Structure 1
Amino acid sequence: MNISFYKYQGAGNDFIVIDHREAPLKNIDNALVAQLCDRRFGIGGDGLMFLTSHPEYDFEMHYYNADGNVGTMCGNGGRCIVAFAKHLGIIENETNFLAVDGPHYAKITEEGNWVELQMIDVEQIANDEDAFVLNTGSPHYVKEVSGLEALDVYKHGYEIRNNDTYKVNGINVNFVEKKPNHLFVRTFERGVEDETYACGTGVTAVAMAMAKKDNRIGHIETPVKVLGGNLEIKFNYNGQVFSDVFLCGPAEKVFEGKIIV
């Protein structure tokens, strides 16, 4: 069977995307998804998404990690699937769609490749010694460091993700360094089990953690630099709740092709 696929990337976070509205794949299993995401023996990607129909929303997003397992919310994946929905003609420049963590609103700018995705509100941020732990649709560990350019993110991220506290359910590990006009963030992602070029829910978590740490209140806009480019996080913070949260950045089609399965 030949199945059409599309490759999208958002700040270097790359995904295989499949139009699943007519259900061309009947038996989706971990091994098949992992094979397709493999960068040597498949298409390659940090994850795979299926776009399906939904009676109450423009579409529904189903996200799988690169290891083949069903994933939690992926922010950059959400922005990419919005761009894909526009490519398919399902939406114009605004949408309401459903993901694993609930409904999401998103809008696409007139330029066509900048997607602003509304994320879930966040009320709880815990501490793990000098780090922060919170869930922005996926669980995240945030630690401020210096010399991030030279840090061995794989080594330290792997150790934290697999320590006694987090090894059962896993956690995404974010390291952040404050720069004069932006935050610099590098992330070790569970499910990929490696550093990725960007993580949308991760930079959202980082921006929130740093706002809490610095006791910043009000409407906050945070530019973030990742290995794959630039993102921006916008939210309101009243000292207790982060609301009206938007993850903003590029989402671009890279190529398309056929999968033989």
Structure 2
Amino acid sequence: MRVPFIKMHGLGNDFVVLDGRAQALPALSSAFAVALADRRTGIGCDQLVVLEPSGKADLKARFFNQDGSEVESCGNASRAIGLLIGQRAMVETLGGLIEVAPSAGGITVDMGQPRFEWDQIPLAYAMDTHHMPLAWEALENPTAVNVGNPHVIFFVPDCTAVELDRLGPEIEHDPMFPARINVNVATVLDRSHIRLRVWERGAGETRACGTGACATAIGAMRRGLVERRVTVSLPGGDLQIEWTEAGRILMTGPATISFRGDFDPADFGAE
């Protein structure tokens, strides 16, 4: 059995998408996800995305990072799913139900409502997540937001100067974050524009992170640094983030199909 796949990306954050709604897929495992994601010996991607039937939405999406860990949500991949579906649809994820829809700016994803309580991030113990009394060298006083998956955000004068490749994994694996954490370093350029870099748990620094853009925008809005609709500029390009009066997070941006192909699951250790 050969399995078809679609290679996609959202602002350079790239995915291998497997559609299990109409055909059986090989047994999913961490080792299989790692093998497919390997950029030298596999297809290569930041995340493996698996589409499945759902009993509570139009479809279910599962997300696996390069290290094989399954995560709750992926904003850029959600836009890729929206591009594939081509119409408004509800998607079940481990992080909750989201809505995707085509829009003038590409694909808009309703990411739901942000969560701020310490045990919703989660943190190892109770503390104020708005101004956390923590520091890792010059990165200090972060805020934490869960937007389907957990993020910690540091607002700094120049995010391009942060040694994210060194500090990112240290913070990701800190015991303060029992489920690990996505690490965001952001610079507020003005009240409608944020520059952002993201160290994604299980994937490292990526060219774009949709949930990171959402979490960072919400964190900046809570601190009164920006308005309720902002542009977030990542290394791969721009996303538009809005926090509606109803408390919903709307993310709008592009998604692209790179190519299609197929593979033999046995070549990647699947049964």
Q: Normalised by the shorter chain, which TM-score bucket?
A: 0.7 to 0.9
In structure 2, distance between residues paired with 1:116 and 1:182: 19
Percent identity between the aligned chains? 29
Give the deviation of 1:162 after TM superposition: 2.1
Partner of 2:231: 223
Give the deviation of 1:56 after TM superposition: 4.0
- 8 Å Cα contact 2:51-2:62 kept in structure 1: yes
Aligned CA-pair RMSD: 1.8
1:160 is the counterpart of 2:160: no
In structure 2, distance between residues paired with 1:178 and 1:143: 11
Instruction: Tell me the number of residue pairs that the alignment of Structure 1 and Structure 2 aligns.
Output: 245
Give the deviation of 1:29 after TM superposition: 1.2
Give the deviation of 1:23 after TM superposition: 4.1
Partner of 2:242: 234
Q: Say which of 243, 251, 256 aligns to 2:260.
A: 256
In structure 2, distance between residues paired with 1:160 and 1:54: 35
Partner of 1:13: 13
CA offsets per residue over residues 19-57 of structure 1, 9 Å max, x none?
A: 101343241111111110111111111111111122442
Give the TM-score normalised by structure 1: 0.88
Rate the CA distance shift 1:257–1:123 in 2: closer, same or farther, 3 A: closer
User: How is 1:101-140 mapped onto 2 (pairs within 5 angstroms)?
Assistant: 101-109=95-103, 114-124=106-116, 126=129, 127-129=131-133, 130-140=141-151
In structure 1, distance between residues paired with 2:48 and 2:215: 22
Partner of 2:181: 171
CA offsets per residue over residues 185-223 of structure 1, 9 Å max, x none?
A: 00001011x10111111111100111111176xx71110
| SS, match of residue 148 in structure 2 | coil
Give the deviation of 1:158 after TM superposition: 1.5
Aligned partner of 1:109: which letter? Answer: S
Partner of 1:78: 78
Structure 1 outlier segments of 4+, above 6 Å: none
Aligned partner of 1:5: which letter? Answer: F
**Structure 1 unmatched ranges of 5 or more:** 87-92
1:53 is the counterpart of 2:64: no
Partner of 2:63: 63
Aligned partner of 1:70: which letter? Answer: E
| SS, match of residue 73 in structure 1 | coil
**Structure 2 unmatched ranges of 5 or more:** 118-128, 134-140, 266-271
Give the deviation of 1:62 after TM superposition: 1.4
